[in-house]
Chain A
Amino acid sequence: MQVKRKTPMGIWALRGVTVAVALIVLLVVGTVVYSAYEDFSAVKAELAGGSQQAVGAAVLRGTTETVSINITVPNKGLYPLNVTLTCDYPTTNVVCQRTSVDVSPGGQGVLRFRMTVLDVPQFESSDNQVINGTVAISMEPFVGLVVGTNFGGFVKTGGA
């Protein structure tokens, strides 16, 4: 006959830790997925013109063009959101202002990005019309997404 042993206290403690670890993982993964979904939906709605806050404009004065992008960034998730826009061009003909906004949960922030092409004809005639732009979105402290794309497409002769 097999004797049924009493479960030692130490084993109960280990089980308790296992449950705690599982709960922590579920909590973190669940909230991060939920926040990512909510933030993505909110930003997508904003860019689609839900509140007409996402505005991009290119203004040409003489040979200088200024590209302005104003984006309202809502944070409907549970973690702080940081959005940063930067761009990089090998010569001094393009000047970018690095801009960043921190949005706490439930709030919203406005991201104002300016990119100036000092000499548009020179830019258009140059071999390199690629302005390496970076959009970094981070859901502090767990997830960060960096999107790299060409901001050169924003530059239009005569403004938008």
Chain B
Amino acid sequence: MYDQTITTRKRITSAVWAFVVNAIFWIVIPYYVGVFLTGKVPESALTVPTFVYEFGILFIVLEVGAAFFRGKAVAVPLISAVALLTVVYIWYATNGGILGVETSGITLALSFRLMLYVLVLPSIWAAIRAPLSYAIWRRAAKAEVSSALPVSPVSQSGNSPLPQK
């Protein structure tokens, strides 16, 4: 819900939480997975690719921004950007749904393009839903104000339920 009554203190707390959670998910866990893989199979090429960290930094920035500006219009493009970045990340990580490996003269190629479309569907929907949701809440708030105006002069005293731009 888009709500302009969230205090700055709450915003900072949300942003800090978003930072901590995303840093653990995108930086700490991949780092220790990399350490684990390198320790278990030292001669193998099993490492965490750097793009995980690069995407991780982008995710952290966008998630922290979205958490800080929660309830404001500026949060909408940030939420959509996170969702679209998730789509790009999944696509990039799975090489567009075509994965291949070659070992001991045997080549294995796994193709799951259609499955990938299904997997990115929730993220695409999340990117679309954010602006739609904002528009609907804003419209509802406007309607609330206009219906309240003739009978409730209190609503004109500055406590407008309209979300701030």
Given the interface pairs A5-B140, A24-B118, the reply to whether A147 lies near B1 with Cβ below 8 Å is: no
Q: Is the CB of B122 within 8 A of A22?
A: yes
Contact in complex: A32, B106 (CB < 8 Å):
no
The residue that B122 contacts in the complex, of A5, A21, A150, with Cβ under 8 A, is A21
Interface residue A8 (Cβ < 8 Å from any Cβ of B): yes
Q: Closest residue to B100 on the A side, CB-wise?
A: A146
Question: Which among B5, B107, B111, B133 is the interface contact of A143 at CB below 8 angstroms?
Answer: B111
Separation of A10 and B141 alpha carbons in the complex (Å):
13
A30 CB to closest chain B CB (Å) equals: 11
Residues of chain B within 8 A of A144, CB atoms compared:
110-112
Q: Which of A11-19, A46-54, A68-76, A107-115 binds B?
A: A11-19
Question: How many residues of chain A have a CB within 8 Å of chain B?
Answer: 29
Are A24 and B114 interface neighbours, CB within 8 A? no
Is A148 in contact with B119, judged by CB distance below 8 angstroms? no
Residues of B within 8 A of A24 (CB): 118, 121
Q: Mask for B99-116, Cβ within 8 A of A = 1, else 0?
A: 000000111111110110
Residues of B within 8 A of A160 (CB): none
Interface residue ranges of A17-76 to B (CB < 8 Å): 17-18, 21-22, 24-25, 28-29, 32
Is B132 in contact with A14, judged by CB distance below 8 angstroms?
Answer: yes
Given contacts A143-B112, A150-B105, contact A21 B161 (CB under 8 A): no
Q: Is the CB of A3 within 8 A of B161?
A: yes
Q: A8-B137, A144-B110, A144-B111 are in contact. List 4 more A-B contacts (CB 8 A).
A: A11-B137, A25-B118, A25-B119, A149-B106
Query: Could you list which residues of chain A lie within 8 angstroms of chain B, going by C-beta atoms?
Result: 2-3, 5-8, 10-11, 14, 17-18, 21-22, 24-25, 28-29, 32, 138, 141-150
